[in-house]
Amino acid sequence: MKKNVVILFALIIIPFFLFSEEIYFYRAGKKIVLEENYRSYSFVADAVTKVLTAIPEGVDIKKRERNTALVGRLNKDQKTALSRSGRVFPAYRIGKLDYYVNDKLFVKIPGSPLEKEAEKWCRENGLELVKRYKYIPEWYLVSYNGNTIKKAAELVENKIVEQAEPSFFIPLEHRTMIPDDPFFFNQWHLHNFGGHELTGTDHAHVANAWSLLKAYNGSMGKGTRLAIIDDGFDLDHEDLVGRFVAGWDFSDNNDQPRPGPRDAHGTACAGIAGASVDNGIGVAGACPECDLIPIRMNMGFGSTLDQIAIESFSWAADNNAHIISNSWGPPDNRGPMDMSQPLKDLVFNLVTTGRNGKGILIFFAAGNGNESIDEGSGSHDGFAGNPNVFAIGSTNASGKRSSYSDFGFSLDFVAPSNDVESGSGGDGWAGGSYIDGIWTTDNTNGGYNPGQLAGDPSGKYVSEFGGTSASAPLAAGITGLVLAANPDLTRDDVYGIYKATSDKVSRGNVNPGENDYDENGFSTHYGWGRLNACEAVKMAIEMKGVDITNIVCGESDHNFGNDDPEPEPEPDTDVELPDRDGDADTDTDKDKVIDDEPSLKKKDGGCSCSFINI
């Protein structure tokens, strides 16, 4: 009897292994194997008009885009019904993430032919040309009436093309928690006055940088174009009016990238990067005279990340973006996820040839899972971990790494953000309470405040924003100031400036389990250190050949090296600083310091570049 059971088991199981099909594609020559997950499916309808009418009652529709719908678990009858009007595919899993196919794939057509030849090539290979990409002209988006994963593998294995890979729907996640500015004095990340129940006195010296830049050329970021790709923007917010230039909505395909019903993230990020300053209301942005380019990219479940990200980045480049800020990426604690090869190629092209050859600077939030972003780790983040982007982690008001902030050799720099008190749990967000919150703009209606996050009584601002989602637009805004000081800087120049000027916060006193800075000044948990906006702007000016060695960026407006100083005279309102041509500029209208504005003093006055007149 036992023998018969074994034989029966073998007859059932062995054919399963013999005939089960391995599903895979190739990315840059590497075989990527996927596992089928029958808990959810993608339905690719034969026509756009059929995508809803063909779906039987009772089917859970998670997302719909053109002729593709992502649905929940299906029974046999539902699958049969859907198959009459299109194709049904299970979700395909890599690690803990589900990928969903549609009818599109990316191919590198040999010889990079023009449109007519590309169309002919596609027809000969059972494909239909959809488009060719401007900034990655060797890549084409094509459609296929079948399984795009198998087709991509077939094209490569038969040496028809060098590279091909499916265009997937994949989940995206904001790089902030959903915890939840008259408020400048609460914005400790710009200048830390202490108090407000903060954990320390660290900050990014942004107000100091304003003083220096205003004295140098009278601006606070003027002329710099900063694109923010996110879930939508309150274009009419009182503290963002006049800050936005033309943008685009890749969710609704129009020029009004406004937020949807649950989209408040983009407005918060925009406020950190570039809210108005000195206007008597609200908060201040790091680069308050930068032109903000708002680009809405669907952040919900099942976003067609590769296609829409390529379109968003290309639109930013077409509209002369100097900087692109991204506070989004793969879900935390869900396993590794890489960029598609076309998106990798696009990022490389933009950072090497964009901005008239100087390179567009692309920032990504590192992530909030307290995990490594490095390739080869079980939590590889191919977006923040891409070698051509600036991966930005978070530090709190004491200069310690925020408990949730992702880390690794791919981490570049850190910038201030909030934190979660100890005992919060594995992913850095769960449980605990939020500390060192970031004040920023909120949707005038339907935002975080009230309901999700604390903020001002009007509901136009939030006080508990955070995560690496806050650090990335802060770093991007600081970069706007740096480029305003010296527009000739290349992408690599800016990286070198940050590497040389960032503060080694918590050196010798890092949190338990973290790696301290090595002999080269790098830490896998702090990168090259916490950005110092004032020192970075100063170095950018010096790289123009302007001698400003008499200027010191510092913490205090007290005398140095004198235990019993004489009473300090009223500060000079005329700050002598070489202008762009290297000549001293003593224009009192331009450089006069007024109350509630950062003050800049000369080194021989015993004082530093700091914010005074509190």
Residues 6+ apart with CB under 8 A from 309: 229, 297, 343
Q: How far apart are CA 228 and CA 476, in angstroms?
A: 9
Nearest to 289 by CA among 210, 211, 236, 353: 210
Q: Using alpha carbons, list the distances in angstroms from residue 577 to 11, 598, 606.
A: 86, 15, 16
List beta partners, residue 337.
Answer: 381
Q: How far apart are CA 143 and CA 97, in angstroms?
A: 24
What residue type is 290 in one-letter code? C
Residue 325 annotated as catalytic: no
Q: Could you tell me the two tokens for 179?
A: 């915890």
Angle between helices 265-274 and 468-485 (to 10 degrees): 30
Catalytic option among 265, 322, 380, 525: 265
CB 379 within 8 A of CB 333: yes
Strand pairing report for 30-45 and 23-27: antiparallel
Nearest to 312 by CA among 223, 435, 412, 229: 229
CB 518 within 8 A of CB 525: no
List beta partners, residue 228.
Answer: 294, 325
3-state SS, residue 291: strand
**Would you say the C-alpha torsion 541, 544, 546, 548 has a positive or negative sign?**
positive
Q: Could you tell me the two tokens for 52?
A: 């809803």
Q: How far apart are CA 491 and CA 392, in angstroms?
A: 16
Catalytic option among 394, 405, 469, 523: 469
Q: How far apart are CA 382 and CA 515, in angstroms?
A: 22
Q: How far apart are CA 183 and CA 83, in angstroms?
A: 57
Residue 587 annotated as catalytic: no
Q: Could you tell me the two tokens for 263?
A: 């989209």
Q: How far apart are CA 42 and CA 64, in angstroms?
A: 10
User: Where are the strands (E) in 133-287, listed by range?
Assistant: 139-143, 164-169, 173-174, 225-230, 248-249
Q: Could you tell me the two tokens for 245?
A: 């230039």
Catalytic option among 103, 180, 181, 230: 230
Q: What are phi and psi of 500, to 5 degrees?
A: -80, -25
Residues of 322-360 as b/e, b for ≥16 C-beta within 10 angstroms?
A: bbbbbbbbbbbbbbbbbbbbbbbbbbebbbeebbeebbb
CB 392 within 8 A of CB 469: no
3-state SS, residue 595: coil
Q: How far apart are CA 486 and CA 539, in angstroms?
A: 9
Residue 265 annotated as catalytic: yes
Residues with active-site annotation: 230, 265, 469
